[in-house]
Amino acid sequence: MASEEELFANIDALLAEEPQLPPPAERARLREAAGITQARLATALKTSTQTVKNYENGRSEPKPPRLEAYQRLLNGWAAKYPAPAPGGFPLGRWAADQTRAAQTEAGPGRLAPEREAALAALEPPAPASFTSEPEAAAAAPVEAPAAPAAPERPSRPAAAVRPAASSRRPAAKKAAARPAADPRFPHGPLAVLDGDGSAYGVDGIVLDCPATTVPELVEWTLKESGLGASKLHRYGKDSDPLIVLTASAAVKLGLPERLEGHEQRRSLRLPEDHPVVKQVVKAKWQLTQRGFGPWARIYRKAQGRDRQCVQLAILSWDALDARSWPGVSEMEPADVARVLGVYATRVTTPRGSTAVSGLELMTALRPPTKAVQDPETGNWVSGHNAGSLGTEPMDPAQPEATPEHPVVVESGWTGGFLNEEAYQWVRDVDLLTGQEAALPFAVGLDLNTAFLAAAARLTVGLSAPDHFHAPKFNPKIPGSWLVDLSGIELDPRLPSPFTPDGTRPEGPAWYQTHTVAYAQELGHNIAPIEAYLRRETGAYLDPWHDRLRGAYVDTLADLGVTKDLTDTEFLAAMEHHKQNDPAMAAVLSAIKATVKGGVGKLRERPQGKNYKEGERWPALSRPTWRPDIRAAVISKARVNMHRKLSNMVKMTGLYPLAVLSDCVVYPSPGASPLDFLPYAASGKPQPGGFRLGPTPGLAKLEGVQPMAWAVDLMEQGLNPARHIKGDGHDAVLDEGE
């Protein structure tokens, strides 16, 4: 049994606790019963209307001395407006307790006299109507699970954590829960800091951040916040904590609300003589070469194994591109944290644009080095991690490079380049039959994350290219082949599989292995003239594919689009999935942008007006500048598309009107893909053609327009696939930044 001393100690601990407030829904009920608006209450509490909203939806809790004043007000209202019980009797226990507490409350914890007077003035003009318990229960927020408690770590004092927030969202939308928290990072990978010092994290957690300068924010983040994420690979590195700043938080820290200048928004930076930059330098922190822009990394050199780096993202500086993160910058801080937190859990902690995150995810999943033991000394040293791209950049072969690359300029290369790009093809309008033109609809199909599907089990080169003359073609060796495919005769109602614009090749040209292998698959004799091949190969992108595929499928499932749906149910679910939960729809958009942007970054071109041809640009200094890997992904995606187009002809006799990357438009007798897609007698979709479904490589409806509309565009030389959505936004070939 417990001793008397233990019992008294427990009682003393309870007495020392902060005042307890009623549940968030009850706070709102009491205010409404008193006839007071949120804005009027905010004025009395000397805070913002949004903060009052947060108190009433459970996103945050007041701190002393506002806590005591708010409790005093709620106590008084509770005495006047007790909630009625189901049988009409007042629910009096909590109200009576609070009334007694209000009557006996003494001086400690009270606000300044002027704020007490303001609170006293909050009297209703007339009694408000009561809410019955069933109605109140229906309106009450769903309680979120409590955030895991931070373990005691002497080197990292625990940040001030408010009670786990509740949410008005249905429980089903609490999907995407984080895996078991790393005890080193109890509060998740990131937080969104608002101007009142509230730092909104994942799972509804809210931290109190006392920082008033950027150096103080960095110190708090690293030493007290408990933010960060564990490495994705045992040889990798932990993710640096991310702090996202709202406009008010940026201003509070001395930053301008917006960056102004003539450059592209993402290229703007604070000048080196800006006071905040000087504060950072004076505190002996460093900025990367990219400076203090929308995404800023502030760091010190690592001490031992501990990295000292914090990533900042400023919302009002357009850190979150609306194309990749639709609507996120306008969301409330807690919702921004939810979006970014789900992305961080399923993909990676954002580190810049989605293209940057997609590229860095490759390295995080295939770290370049690992610890190995020196056989002579027995010491552990850094060694190459097999299957990775290593630590040193690698120059491409001339035909794999871009015209401005030093290997091209310095060698005077004139032998041509790989042209492995996504489809942009429109069928010659003269090849339309009268029967096709008479069909009522043009229906667009879009392949889910086609580049991601192409990355699955894709063998790419890991070593430097070697030059070969007249080699025998081997479809298992990744590389670039000089081959003449111009003699291959194909149906002109389909795009050529060998060129992005779908036209027939003219003479010898450079092709990636998958393109040449497809020509061989079609039954043609292949006689390469020369080739640049790689001896060391591997499925470098497999873990990248697996992680992003899981993220895509799981996020679609959160939006109600699951694998078990019939094709009819799938089309219905996809029609409204973005309206189900805008936050999760934004996560889905960011995942898709991560795929395309990450592939595009493998061949990032020089940026800026001052670049001179032949100079090395920054992207060339990283091992992930690999245009040959980008070419392999796009080549395989284009071949996959052509194979489906050919199979559709065999199974249905249908030919496409146009193709744009992963979107194809077909003439159709009805307004649904179900009206022309091939199905077996059993009702199951035929393999080999386009199939509907939520996984990468399967198709969804992109849009429907009248057939006459499509023919009109074709006659103008325009691509119907670019405009088939009909929402005013053209489809774009997003290949990264």
- 200-214 pLDDT per residue, tens: 999 899 999 999 999
Of residues 119 and 141, more confidently modeled: 119
* Per-residue pLDDT at 590: 98
- Comparing C-alpha atoms, which of 257, 307, 299 is closest to residue 280? 299
* Per-residue pLDDT at 221: 97
* Bond from prior residue into 687 cis (ω within 30 degrees of 0): no
Least confident of 85-94, 230-239, 375-384, 575-584: 85-94
* Per-residue pLDDT at 264: 58
- Report residue 587 as tokens: 């996560």
Least confident of 20-34, 119-133, 350-364, 450-464: 119-133
* Per-residue pLDDT at 131: 33
Max Cα-Cα span within the chain? 97
- H-type helices in 539-690, by residue range? 542-558, 567-580, 582-601, 627-652
Of residues 82 and 206, more confidently modeled: 206
* Per-residue pLDDT at 99: 43
Instruction: Kindly state the average pLDDT of the residues 167-193.
Output: 66
pLDDT at 724 over 50: yes
Rounded CA separation 524/51 (Å): 70
Q: Please give the mean pLDDT across all residues of the chain.
A: 85
- Comparing C-alpha atoms, which of 231, 226, 630 is closest to residue 402? 630
pLDDT confidence tier of residue 111, bands split at 50, 70 and 90: very low
- Comparing C-alpha atoms, which of 268, 267, 238, 240 is closest to residue 256? 268
pLDDT confidence tier of residue 53, bands split at 50, 70 and 90: confident
Instruction: Kindly state the average pLDDT of the residues 181-198.
Output: 93
pLDDT at 480 over 50: yes
Q: What is the pLDDT of residues 237-255, one digit of tens each?
A: 999 999 999 999 999 999 9
pLDDT confidence tier of residue 21, bands split at 50, 70 and 90: confident
pLDDT confidence tier of residue 40, bands split at 50, 70 and 90: confident
Instruction: Kindly state the average pLDDT of the residues 207-236.
Output: 95
Rounded CA separation 242/152 (Å): 22
Dihedral, CA of residue 58, residue 582, residue 294 and residue 624, to nearest 10 = 120
* Per-residue pLDDT at 57: 81
Tokens 């591109």, located at residue: 321
Of residues 142 and 730, more confidently modeled: 730
Instruction: Kindly state the average pLDDT of the residues 632-645.
Output: 98
Of residues 208 and 67, more confidently modeled: 208
* Per-residue pLDDT at 528: 97
Strand, helix or coil for residue 591: helix
* Per-residue pLDDT at 37: 85
pLDDT at 737 over 70: no
* Beta strand residue intervals within 209-264, DSSP E: 242-245
* Per-residue pLDDT at 255: 97
pLDDT at 116 over 60: no
pLDDT at 412 over 50: yes
Rounded CA separation 148/164 (Å): 9
Q: What is the pLDDT of residues 551-573, one digit of tens each?
A: 999 999 999 999 999 999 999 99
**Region of 653 on the Ramachandran plot (φ > 0 left; ψ -120 to 50 alpha; else beta):** left
Q: What share of the chain is helix, strand, coil (3-state, %, to 5)?
A: 35, 15, 50
Dihedral, CA of residue 359, residue 591, residue 553 and residue 459, to nearest 10 = -20
* Per-residue pLDDT at 366: 97
* Per-residue pLDDT at 6: 67
* Per-residue pLDDT at 208: 94
Of residues 324 and 263, more confidently modeled: 324
Most confident of 37-46, 107-116, 398-407, 605-614: 398-407
- The CA-CA-CA angle for residues 604, 609, 613, to 5°, reads 65
pLDDT at 657 over 50: yes
Whole-model pTM: value is 0.77
* Per-residue pLDDT at 120: 56
Q: What is the pLDDT of residues 672-721, one digit of tens each?
A: 999 999 999 888 999 999 999 999 999 999 999 999 999 999 999 999 99
In percent, the amount of the chain with pLDDT more than 90 equals 67
* Per-residue pLDDT at 112: 54
pLDDT confidence tier of residue 91, bands split at 50, 70 and 90: very low
* Per-residue pLDDT at 736: 40
* Per-residue pLDDT at 182: 82
Of residues 734 and 309, more confidently modeled: 309
* Per-residue pLDDT at 141: 39
* Per-residue pLDDT at 170: 34
* Beta strand residue intervals within 259-294, DSSP E: 286-287
pLDDT at 15 over 60: no
Instruction: Kindly state the average pLDDT of the residues 496-512.
Output: 96
pLDDT at 94 over 50: no
pLDDT confidence tier of residue 58, bands split at 50, 70 and 90: confident
Q: State how far the alpha carbon of 338 is from the alpha carbons of 11, 137, 324, 332, in Å.
A: 38, 25, 16, 10
* Per-residue pLDDT at 433: 95
Instruction: Kindly state the average pLDDT of the residues 612-635.
Output: 96
* Domain range list for the chain: 16-140, 160-352
pLDDT confidence tier of residue 163, bands split at 50, 70 and 90: low
Instruction: Kindly state the average pLDDT of the residues 83-92.
Output: 46
Rounded CA separation 331/227 (Å): 22
pLDDT confidence tier of residue 610, bands split at 50, 70 and 90: confident
* Per-residue pLDDT at 11: 60
* Per-residue pLDDT at 61: 82
Beta strand 166-167 with 142-143: parallel, antiparallel or unpaired?
Answer: antiparallel
Rounded CA separation 268/316 (Å): 13
pLDDT confidence tier of residue 266, bands split at 50, 70 and 90: low
* Per-residue pLDDT at 10: 64
